């Protein structure tokens, strides 16, 4: 079995074609995808520099992607409705989805095509813990619960190669880490089934990083 970590491909082949999100403003409906401590930090930042509700992105790019990268995460990505529909169709539904409207497009000399195109619907995807990181095989110290000790932060970080324990996998096709306390449910992992779906449907601006199986 091969497992993957999902990400946007903004720094790969999609870099020149698609816009990039700088961050986002607070949602009136709430942001359940954020850990309380992360939410508290973001709320303090929003008090100092207010932002409109929803995604703030550059006008760089000539078309909307299925996976929109975000530099002000978590989350690191926002996903189109057809990604969610595809996951549901193959029996890999997210644990929870949160609608994330587009709040502001920062204008400039390039990319006005994006501003003039119909704005798609984007969402935050959360999923359930489904596999353990093999920290001991990566040289990362752990606590009694087998969670990584992040203070001091291991070097190099992030790891050049993520390693996982196949025997700890819960059998789902969409999941996240079981024993990584500092991550969140928006850090998506998957099986080949999801990767094949993305290729068949032509999901844009998506990348799959293979995980080493132990």
Q: What parts of the chain have a pLDDT lower than 50? A: none
Q: Look at residue 182 in the predicted model and tell me its pLDDT.
A: 65
Q: Look at residue 50 in the predicted model and tell me its pLDDT.
A: 83
Q: Is the dihedral of CA 209, 168, 128, 71 positive or negative?
A: negative
Residue among 111, 84, 101 at smallest CA distance from 19:
111
Residue among 135, 134, 144 at smallest CA distance from 165:
134
Domain ranges of the chain: 3-213
Q: Look at residue 109 in the predicted model and tell me its pLDDT.
A: 57
Residue among 54, 79, 41 at smallest CA distance from 186:
79
Mean pLDDT for the chain overall: 90
**Structure letter (DSSP) for residue 168:** G
Beta bridge partners of 105: 57
Residue-wise pLDDT tens digits, 177-201: 998 876 689 999 999 999 999 999 9
Reported pTM: 0.91
């Amino acid at each position: 079995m091969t497992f993957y970590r999902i990400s946007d491909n903004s720094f790969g082949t999609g870099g020149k074609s698609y816009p990039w999100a700088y961050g986002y403003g607070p949602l009136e409906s709430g942001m359940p995808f954020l850990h309380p401590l992360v939410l508290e930090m973001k709320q303090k930042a929003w008090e100092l520099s207010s932002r409109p509700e929803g995604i703030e992105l550059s006008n760089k790019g000539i078309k909307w992607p299925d996976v929109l990268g975000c530099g002000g995460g978590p989350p690191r990505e926002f996903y189109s409705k057809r990604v969610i529909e595809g996951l549901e169709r193959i029996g890999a539904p997210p644990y929870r989805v949160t609608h994330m409207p587009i709040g502001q497009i920062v204008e400039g000399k390039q990319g006005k095509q994006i501003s003039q195109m119909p704005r798609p619907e984007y969402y935050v995807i959360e999923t359930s813990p489904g596999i353990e990181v093999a920290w001991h095989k990566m040289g990362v110290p752990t606590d009694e619960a087998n969670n990584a000790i992040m203070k001091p932060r291991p070097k190099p970080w992030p790891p050049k190669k993520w390693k996982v324990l196949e025997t700890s996998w819960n059998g789902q096709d969409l999941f996240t880490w079981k024993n990584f306390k500092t991550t969140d449910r928006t850090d998506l992992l998957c099986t080949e089934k999801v990767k094949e779906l993305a290729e068949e449907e032509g999901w844009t601006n998506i990348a799959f990083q293979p995980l080493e199986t132990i």
